[in-house]
């Protein structure tokens, strides 16, 4: 049994009340370890450590902070296999995906913000006629909270921690209780890289306890949260009366719009990925596929053919493309959506079945699932499933597909496949979301703003946007007449 601990003030500690949670391996449903079931006392203890560390860390020269972040990045690279094995075991994702995507991206997050902070500038404005000069200072906020979900555990946790630390804040982080393992390993790496004690503290436990204690803490100045929209609402309700800064990256139900004039083969390969990567458990997955009517039948046949070739299997197999879903509860939630197929005129085209994997009988495996729907207003098109389930439906006109794409409460990302420049510009402007991909999917440049509109969230992370979020500005106006 692996026993994870909290990382507070550079030390690995048991939870103060000595309460523990089981940690499951979704590839076979077994318990393989325990993690702290932390409470308010653990959060308060971490806060004291972070508060003490803040004075020195916020005054540490940028070059030194940057060097520590770059060192963390290279130590993550050096430990690629160890991190990838832990991530795959915790989450059920194919080890190949953890090695190719999750762990390298976690290293890139530290590397990127280690560099970005050295280029982060403040503005100055001179008004000659009035003989004034304004300049803006950007101070770190103090102790901040970073709360992340289970789908890309280390990738998303470090996406928050790295800019917070780079900007000179001290952090209390809480990874998902479902996938805590890599966050635990990160503590060790931070000590090796020379990150001073108390600058980063990682608390494990339930969202409703440890997470809520972070949100409610009066002296934690800002919360960067990625997770579900309902949790986002709870966080906003709690934090708003305290005027905490909030960055909320929430759910999605992203449209993938395919026009007949697209580069068909490229679109097909990418659409398989945007539908089922990470078992469809990526907030950016294109789960509503709209296809121009003239190519709908061709697309349907080819898409089913490609998807039927995807290999569902144990995450540890190199050939596996679709691993296990993250937990029993999530598996049952996804299956409950599949059970509703047919009730509203929708039709199961492929998949939708439990997969029994030899020697992994207790695992949460599901065939990638394609459903044809009649209307965008059906539940399958309106609710976030967050699993390997996509819907397809034909459209006749630009105006109709734009209306359907926007007719959903979410607004995270959208993909458009077309070789018509005017159309791609028109859709890019009018789609209600924070990110549009044209003729590609999930190509990420860490300098770009990242986030959604409507129920997909509040604020932008990435690049200088998140460094601005993690700093407080103060403008100074000097008259030199
Ligand atoms: P949840 O909202 O359930 O949990 C996210 C994190 O919040 C977890 O660490 C959770 O802890 C914690 N949490 C839960 N309740 C509270 C609370 N009251 N106070 C503070 N923290 C709390 O999301 P999931 O983990 O289920 O992740 C899936 C969701 O995340 C999907 O909706 C997906 O779209 C979204 N997501 C959004 C992304 C984006 O960039 N917009 C990217 C990736 C995912 P615990 O696990 O212990 O409950």
Q: How far from 6 is each of 21, 157, 175, 423, 465, CA to CA, in Å?
A: 13, 15, 11, 51, 30
Instruction: Quote the ligand 1 centre to 148 CA distance (angstroms).
Output: 6
Separation CA 363–CA 165 (nearest Å): 37
Instruction: Quote the ligand 1 centre to 86 CA distance (angstroms).
Output: 20
How does DSSP assign 141-156, residue by residue?
-SEEEEE--SSSHHHH
Q: What is the mean pLDDT of residues 47-69?
A: 98
Kindly report, residue by residue over 407-422, the tens digit of the pLDDT: 999 999 999 999 999 9
The model's confidence at residue 255, banded by pLDDT at 50, 70 and 90, is: very high
In what helix (H) or strand (E) does residue 478 lie, and over which residues does it extend? strand 471-479
Q: What is the mean pLDDT of residues 79-90?
A: 98
Q: Which residues contact 126 (CB under 8 A, 6 or more apart)?
A: 132, 133, 134
Q: Tell me which residue of 103, 272, 269 sits closest to 186, measured CA to CA.
A: 103
Which residue among 37, 227, 229, 251 has the greatest number of ligand 1 atoms within 8 angstroms of its CB, and so is best to mutate? 227
The model's confidence at residue 320, banded by pLDDT at 50, 70 and 90, is: very high
- Residue 283 appears among annotated catalytic residues: yes
Kindly report, residue by residue over 212-247, the tens digit of the pLDDT: 999 999 999 999 999 999 999 999 999 999 999 999
Instruction: Quote the ligand 1 centre to 145 CA distance (angstroms).
Output: 14
Percent of the chain with pLDDT over 70: 100
CA angle 273, 247, 125 (to 5 degrees): 115
Which of 87, 177, 249, 465 is flagged as catalytic?
A: 249
In what helix (H) or strand (E) does residue 230 lie, and over which residues does it extend? helix 229-239
- Residue 383 appears among annotated catalytic residues: no
Provide the pLDDT for residue 122.
87
Asked if residue 252 has its Cβ within 6 Å of ligand 1, the reply is yes
Which residue among 159, 231, 460 has the greatest number of ligand 1 atoms within 8 angstroms of its CB, and so is best to mutate? 231
Q: Tell me which residue of 298, 123, 145 sits closest to 224, measured CA to CA.
A: 145
Atom 40 of ligand 1 has which residue's CA nearest to it?
249
Kindly report, residue by residue over 8-35, the tens digit of the pLDDT: 999 999 999 999 999 999 999 999 999 9
Average pLDDT, the chain: 98
Helix residue ranges per DSSP H, 59-179: 62-78, 80-91, 95-97, 103-116, 153-166
Report the predicted TM-score, pTM, of the whole model to 2 decimal places.
Answer: 0.97
Asked if residue 461 has its Cβ within 6 Å of ligand 1, the reply is no
Q: Is 405 exposed, middle or buried (0-12, 13-18, 19+ CB in 10 A)?
A: buried
- pLDDT value at 205 more than 90: yes
Kindly report, residue by residue over 173-189, the tens digit of the pLDDT: 999 999 999 999 999 99
Kindly report, residue by residue over 115-146, the tens digit of the pLDDT: 999 999 888 999 999 999 999 999 999 999 99
Closest ligand 1 atom number to CA of residue 234: 18
């Amino acid at each position: 049994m692996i026993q994870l601990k909290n990382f507070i003030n550079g030390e690995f500690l048991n939870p103060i009340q000595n309460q523990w949670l089981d940690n499951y391996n979704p590839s076979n449903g077994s318990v393989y370890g325990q993690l702290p079931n932390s409470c308010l006392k653990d959060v308060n203890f971490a806060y004291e450590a972070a508060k003490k560390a803040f004075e020195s860390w916020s005054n540490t020269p940028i070059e030194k902070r940057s060097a520590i972040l770059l060192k963390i990045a290279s130590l993550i690279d050096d430990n690629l296999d160890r991190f990838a094995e832990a991530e795959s075991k915790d989450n059920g994702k194919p080890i190949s995906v953890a090695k190719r995507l999750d762990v390298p991206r976690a290293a890139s997050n530290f590397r990127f913000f280690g560099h970005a902070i050295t280029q982060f500038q403040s503005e100055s404005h001179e008004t000659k006629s009035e003989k004034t000069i304004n300049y803006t200072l950007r101070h770190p906020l103090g102790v901040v909270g970073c709360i992340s979900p289970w789908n890309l555990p280390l990738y998303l946790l470090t996406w928050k921690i790295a800019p917070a630390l780079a900007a000179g804040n001290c952090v209390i982080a809480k990874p998902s209780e479902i996938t805590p393992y890599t966050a635990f390993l990160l503590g060790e790496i931070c000590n090796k890289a020379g990150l001073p004690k108390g600058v980063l503290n990682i608390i494990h436990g339930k969202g409703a306890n440890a997470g809520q204690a972070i949100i409610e803490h009066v002296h934690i100045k800002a919360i960067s949260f990625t997770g579900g929209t309902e949790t986002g609402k709870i966080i906003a309700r709690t934090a708003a009366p305290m005027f905490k800064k909030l960055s909320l990256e929430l759910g999605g139900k992203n449209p993938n719009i395919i026009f007949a004039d697209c580069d068909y083969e490229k679109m097909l390969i990418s659409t398989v990925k945007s539908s089922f990567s990470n078992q469809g458990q990526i907030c950016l997955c294109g789960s509503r596929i709209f296809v121009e009517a003239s190519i709908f039948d061709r697309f349907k046949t080819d898409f089913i053919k490609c998807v039927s070739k995807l290999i569902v299997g144990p995450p540890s197999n190199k050939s596996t493309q679709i691993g296990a879903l993250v937990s029993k509860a999530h598996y049952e939630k996804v299956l409950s959506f599949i059970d509703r197929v047919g009730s509203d005129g929708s039709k199961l085209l492929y998949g939708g079945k439990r997969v029994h994997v030899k020697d992994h009988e207790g695992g949460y495996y599901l065939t990638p699932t394609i459903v044809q729907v009649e209307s965008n207003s059906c539940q399958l098109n309106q609710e976030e499933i967050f699993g390997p389930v996509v819907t397809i439906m034909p459209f006749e006109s630009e105006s109709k597909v734009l209306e359907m794409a926007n007719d959903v409460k979410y607004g995270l990302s959208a993909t458009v496949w077309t070789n018509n420049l005017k159309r791609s510009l028109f859709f890019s402007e009018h789609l209600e979301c924070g990110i549009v991909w044209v003729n590609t999917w999930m190509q990420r440049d860490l300098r770009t703003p990242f986030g959604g509109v409507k129920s997909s969230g509040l604020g932008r992370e990435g690049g200088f946007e998140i460094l601005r979020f993690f700093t407080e500005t103060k403008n100074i106006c000097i008259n030199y007449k």
